A and B are shown apart, each in its own frame.
Chain A
Amino acid sequence: MSYRHKIGCSLENLKGVRDFVRKSLKGQRISEVMLNEIILALDEMCSNLMIHAHHCNPDHFLELTIEIPEKGKLVFEIMDDGAMFDINQFHEPDLENLVQEKRKGGLGIRLVKSIMDDVQYLSRNGRFVCRLIKKIS
């Protein structure tokens, strides 16, 4: 099974990303809490790219695909023509520092790393690909 969704880089489209993920995973045996976590991780990855790599330009596009190669394993890929931001290279500050600096960012990456089992970066046909893997069994 494979699902595909093209997204303009506007934060208004995050709702569409969440709806796409929810609809695509309908029928999978996932608890509401875990489904929300998966939706959250994809929302965070897309909003990060929209803001930091594309400055919310709606004429720039991301492509999100969902594949279920085997039972109990979900593979998400976000394809981007622009520069990819490697969250594995990002060392998130600790929570108390975030509180003291009154920073509103830095939490999303922490969420994605906590939720997903693996985050990989690759390039395919000249495009950057971020692959997120979640085991659900």
Chain B
Amino acid sequence: MVHIKRLQEDGADILAIVGEIDASSSIELDLTIAKSVGEGFTRIFVDCSSLEYISSAGLGVFMSYIEEFRDKSIIMILYGMKEKVHNTFQILGLADLLHIRANKQEAKQLLHELSA
């Protein structure tokens, strides 16, 4: 149901989510982020352009890393969300707690600003 591809670019880890994240598949997202952090990445992009659906289980995974990332100065930026997916983040006000940008270019720009 969900497939997460990883590739590295300029020292950042890019996680590209393909498919749907619900209560049965959110563990995949959790494991992938944990792996990225475990490998020492401090700059993580999440490409959501092929993310078709996310439920609270997936939102909860992103939420659960906020504090750890603050402590470890890890920057995670999500980008490329479809309107319906972005809306799910907005309903709960998570758009204010996470870094979300429209596209990869804006995500890189934000990383540049946050890293300065």
Q: Do A and B come from one complex?
A: yes
Q: Which of B1-41 contact A (CB under 8 A)?
A: 1, 20, 22-24, 26
B65: nearest chain-A partner, CB-CB:
A102
List residues of chain B with CB within 8 A of the CB of A37.
87-88, 91
Secondary structure type dominating chain B contacts: helix
A106 to B56, CA, bound (A): 8
Q: Which of A1-34 contact B (CB under 8 A)?
A: 11-12, 14-15, 18, 32-33
Q: Which of B24-83 contact A (CB under 8 A)?
A: 24, 26, 53, 55-57, 59-61, 63-64, 66-68, 83
List residues of chain A with CB within 8 A of the CB of B92.
95, 107, 110-111, 114
List residues of chain B with CB within 8 A of the CB of A98.
60, 63
A43–B22 CB distance below 8 A: yes
Q: In the complex, which of the residues B64, B83, B91, B93 contacts A102, with contact meaning CB atoms closer than 8 Å?
A: B64
A103 at the interface (CB under 8 A from B): yes
B84 at the interface (CB under 8 A from A): yes
List residues of chain A with CB within 8 A of the CB of B23.
11, 14, 43, 47, 50-51
A111 to B61, CA, bound (A): 16
A36 to B52, CA, bound (A): 10
Cβ contacts A to B, 16 pairs, < 8 Å: A14-B23, A15-B22, A32-B83, A37-B91, A43-B55, A51-B23, A99-B63, A102-B67, A102-B68, A104-B26, A104-B61, A105-B60, A107-B60, A110-B56, A111-B56, A111-B92
